Amino acid sequence: MNDDRAASVRRYFSVTPREPEHRRTDNERVMMLIGGVLGFVGLILLVTGGLGRIIGGILTFFGLALTGVSYQRTNEIEMANHLAERDYQIALRTSEPKPSDEQMDQWLDESLGRAVDVAWRELGLKSLGGPGSAELQIIGIPRHAVGLTARVGADGRMRLSSYELTICCLSDRKLSVFQCILSMATGGLRHATTYEFYRQHISLLKTERELTAFPVLLGEGSGGHPDSQVVLTRRFEIGVGSTSIKTDIGVSPPAAPDSLEWMTYPGLQAIEEIRRQLDWSAARES
């Protein structure tokens, strides 16, 4: 695990806090000054005797009380400002600086390349060979990823904290599939599963539209806010009998309708290629 990458990815999907608005203490300081003046005048009147002593006592009391209350209020405001600044600095360190959108894409490409290598090793493939052979990659939205979040970058593209990767290897005889969950923070591949189907046994090839909701960070810089967005997905399912593989390809969220186009197009192309190859295989065998 790359600690720098993990911290950077977490910052990418963290909300950049707004700078706190510190409350001013000008009014409280003015009241302290007034209280001090009243107390000073009261002390002078105390030594005059008669009615002046009574008035001096009253002024001294109110002056000291006003000064004490204003001083306490000033300390409370300054403490609140200090705590707000401290919380802001802590939140800022966990959200900035964010890695660039290009850096996130580079990490995804590197992880996808590693997933392909792992897929070939897990499936025991040396080469595909033969007519109709192809290696297809589908980047999907995890259906059960805990803590899945997303962010629309400066380029308008939505990126996810986790992806479901489906590597399909078509040979002239079999469809071999490797599926896993990629964590962008760690680069780790979790819940890896392999499937192998003989072409002539494939009995299910299905797509359907689904609605998936997860938190999406909208906006750039401070003021961006996480909001639960409903994302339209296209679920692709292929299998034999009761065994099937499912993957959800993000189509569009209402708040950023074109943000998933980069992920949608290759996945839909891969599905169409699988359809075409299987149709070709059936025609060849008939």
DSSP-assigned states of every residue in 166-198: EEEEE-SSEEEEEEEEEETTT--EEEEEEEEEE
Q: What is the pLDDT of residue 253?
A: 74
Written as six digits, the tokens of 66 are 């006003």
Residue 205's pLDDT is what?
80
Q: Is the pTM of this model over 0.95?
A: no
Which parts of the chain have pLDDT scores under 70?
1-2, 129-132, 145-146, 214-228, 280-286
Q: For residues 261, 267, 270 and 275, what is the CA-based torsion angle, rounded to 10 degrees?
A: -100
pLDDT at 100: 92
Cα 162 to Cα 26: distance, rounded to the nearest angstrom? 50
Element housing 1 (H / E): none
Between CA 142 and CA 163 the distance in angstroms is: 6
pLDDT digits (tens, 9 = 90+) for 167-221: 988 887 888 899 999 999 988 998 899 998 887 888 888 888 877 776 666 545 4
pLDDT for residue 109: 92
- The pLDDT score that the predictor gives to residue 99 is 92
How far the first Cα of the chain sits from its last, in Å, is: 50
